[in-house]
Structure 1
Amino acid sequence: MTARPRIVGALAGLLATAWFFVLALARFNQAKATSYDLTIFSQAAAAWRRGELPRSFVRGPDTLLADHFSPATAVFAPVWALWPDPRALLLTQAVCLGLAVGIVVAVTHARLGPAAAGWVLLTALLGRMLVAGDIFDVHEVALAVPLMAVLGWALLEQRLTAAVLASLGLVLVKEDLGLTVVAAGAVWWWLRGRGRRALAEGALLVAIGVAGLALAVAVIAHFNGGGSSYLDYFTGGSGGALADHSARPTPGLHLDQRVLPVLLLTATAFVVGWRSPLILLALPTLAWRLLSSNASYWSVSFHYDLVLWPVAVLAAVDAVRRHRLAERAWLRPVAVLSGLAVMASGLTLLVDKGIDPRAAFSRSAELADLDRLMVGVPAGATVAAQNHLGPYLTPRFEVTMLGTGRPERVRYVVLAADRRPEFQAPPCARDQLLRDLRGQPGVMIRQVGDLVLADLGTSRPAGLRACSAG
Structure 2
Amino acid sequence: MARSSPYLCAALVFLIVFVQSYRRHLWFGSGGKDLGLFHQSAWLLSRFESPHNTLLGSHAFADHLEFIDIAAAPLQWIWPAAGALLLFQALLVGLGVVPLFDLAKRRLGSLSAAWLMAVVYLCGIDMQNAVMFDWNPTTCGAALLPWVVWLFERGRVVGFAFAVAALALTKENLVLYALALCLTLARGTERRAALAAAAVLAAWFVIEIKVLFPLFGGEFRHLRYPALGDSGLEIARSVLASPHRAFALLLTPGAKIDGLLAPFSSVAFACVLAPRYGIAFAPAVLERFWSAHSNRWWDHHYGAGIGVLAVLAAIEGLGRLKVWADTRGRRDLAPAAVVAVLLACVAIASLPRFGPGPLWVWRHSYYASPQDRRDAEALVARVPPGAPLAAQNHLLPHLSARPKLFEISRPVRAEFVALDLAQAAWPFERGYPRKLAGELLREGYGVV
SS of aligned partner of 1:424:
coil
CA distance in 2, matches of 1:115, 1:374: 47
SS of aligned partner of 2:414:
strand
| Counterpart residue type for residue 421 of structure 2 | A
| Counterpart residue type for residue 203 of structure 2 | A
CA distance in 2, matches of 1:364, 1:208: 52
SS of aligned partner of 1:269:
coil
Q: For this pair of structures, how many residues does the alignment match?
A: 417
Give how far 1:24 is off. Answer: 0.6
Q: Where in structure 2 are the equivalents of 1:222-237 lying within 5 Å?
A: 222-225=215-218, 227-231=219-223, 233-234=225-226
Matched, 1:216 2:212: no
Judging changes above 3 Å, is the alpha-carbon distance between structure 1 residues 220 and 6 closer, same or farther for their aligned structure 2 residues?
A: farther
Give how far 1:122 is off. Answer: 2.4
Match of 1:430 among 418, 428, 433: 433
| Counterpart residue type for residue 22 of structure 2 | L
Judging changes above 3 Å, is the alpha-carbon distance between structure 1 residues 364 and 81 closer, same or farther for their aligned structure 2 residues?
A: farther
* Identity rate, percent: 24
CA distance in 2, matches of 1:303, 1:283: 17
1:415 matched residue in structure 2 = 419
- On the 8 A contact 2:406/2:413 being kept in 1, the answer is no
Q: Where in structure 2 are the equivalents of 1:161-310 lying within 5 Å?
A: 161-189=158-186, 191-192=187-188, 198=191, 200-217=192-209, 218-225=211-218, 227-231=219-223, 233-234=225-226, 254-276=252-274, 277-299=276-298, 301-310=299-308
- On the 8 A contact 2:388/2:403 being kept in 1, the answer is yes
CA distance in 1, matches of 2:265, 2:399: 39
- On the 8 A contact 2:318/2:338 being kept in 1, the answer is no
Q: Which has the higher strand share?
A: 1
Gaps of 5+ in 1: 239-250, 446-454, 456-470
Give how far 1:302 is off. Answer: 1.1
Matched, 1:133 2:125: no
CA distance in 1, matches of 2:71, 2:158: 22
Matched, 1:143 2:149: no
Deviations 1:91-117 (A, max 9, x none): 111101000122212221222112211
Give how far 1:374 is off. Answer: 4.6
CA distance in 2, matches of 1:123, 1:437: 50
1:460 matched residue in structure 2 = none
Matched, 1:365 2:371: yes
- Over the aligned positions, Cα root-mean-square deviation in angstroms equals 3.1
Match of 1:95 among 91, 98, 111: 91
Give how far 1:285 is off. Answer: 1.3
SS of aligned partner of 1:427:
coil
Judging changes above 3 Å, is the alpha-carbon distance between structure 1 residues 340 and 168 closer, same or farther for their aligned structure 2 residues?
A: same
Give how far 1:228 is off. Answer: 3.0
Give how far 1:211 is off. Answer: 2.3
CA distance in 2, matches of 1:220, 1:253: 31
Give how far 1:124 is off. Answer: 3.0
Matched, 1:105 2:101: yes
2:346 matched residue in structure 1 = 343
CA distance in 2, matches of 1:117, 1:177: 26
Give how far 1:89 is off. Answer: 0.9
- On the 8 A contact 2:125/2:263 being kept in 1, the answer is no
Matched, 1:392 2:434: no
Match of 1:320 among 318, 321, 326: 318
CA distance in 2, matches of 1:176, 1:39: 21
- On the 8 A contact 2:43/2:401 being kept in 1, the answer is no
TM-score normalized with structure 2 length: 0.83
Deviations 1:299-335 (A, max 9, x none): 1x21112223332222111122234355567655654
2:244 matched residue in structure 1 = none
- On the 8 A contact 1:267/1:339 being kept in 2, the answer is no
- On the 8 A contact 1:269/1:316 being kept in 2, the answer is yes
Judging changes above 3 Å, is the alpha-carbon distance between structure 1 residues 233 and 417 closer, same or farther for their aligned structure 2 residues?
A: farther
CA distance in 1, matches of 2:179, 2:223: 21
